[in-house]
């Protein structure tokens, strides 16, 4: 049975983890999910690393929300680097679902982006774990999460 650790934040304005878990359990009905929630993105790296080690998770998913200010964006850069280090150290995939609040002006559009991104990355996690060959068939096809696919560029 695959075990997946998930960490999200109270800073986020959409409960993306619930959508991700719903998609994960649709694709992997026997998956065991361990979820924790922390205040903000800078609290995620240590939380997911500790959880993955304590629970022995096969893979992880982190869901963050970035505010509109420059301080928020710098926080994201620091967080993003830390998440790369955690993955390298644990040698486990941890899919990063991040929504930047300035991706859209309306709350309706931000909600749509957040849900679409969480669900599509849940599928990516499934493919990384169980169907890596499917990802290879999609190489160069301009897949997007949160938006319609960009599509391939043909010669």
Chain residues binding ligand DLZ by CB under 6 A are 9, 11, 39-43, 64-67, 71-72, 75
Question: Shortest Cβ distance from residue 79 to ligand DLZ (Å)?
Answer: 7
Whole-number minimum distance, CB 69 to ligand DLZ, in Å?
7
Please identify the residue of the shown chain whose CB is closest to the bound ligand DLZ.
40
Nearer to ligand DLZ, 67 or 103 (CB): 67
Closer to ligand DLZ by Cβ: residue 68 or 131:
68
Residue placing its CB nearer to ligand DLZ in the complex, 3 or 13: 13
Cβ proximity to ligand DLZ: between 65 and 126 the closer is 65
The dihedral region occupied by 47, where left means phi > 0, alpha psi between -120 and 50, and beta the remainder, is alpha
Least distance between ligand DLZ and beta carbon 40 (Å) = 2
Shortest distance, position 96 Cβ to ligand DLZ, whole Å: 13
């Amino acid at each position: 049975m695959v075990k997946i650790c998930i960490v999200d934040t109270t800073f986020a304005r959409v409960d993306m983890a619930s959508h991700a878990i719903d998609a994960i359990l649709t694709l992997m009905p026997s998956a065991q999910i361990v979820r924790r929630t922390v205040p903000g993105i800078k609290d995620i790296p240590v939380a997911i690393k500790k959880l993955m080690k304590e629970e022995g998770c096969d893979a992880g998913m982190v869901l963050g929300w970035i505010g509109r200010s420059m301080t928020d964006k710098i926080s994201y850069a620091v967080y993003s680097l830390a998440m790369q280090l955690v993955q390298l150290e644990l040698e486990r995939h941890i899919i990063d679902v991040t929504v930047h609040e300035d991706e859209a002006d309306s709350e309706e559009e931000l909600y749509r982006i957040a849900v679409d991104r969480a669900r599509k990355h849940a599928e990516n996690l499934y493919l990384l774990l169980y169907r890596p060959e499917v990802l290879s068939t999609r190489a160069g096809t301009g897949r997007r999460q949160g938006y319609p696919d960009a599509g391939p560029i043909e010669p």
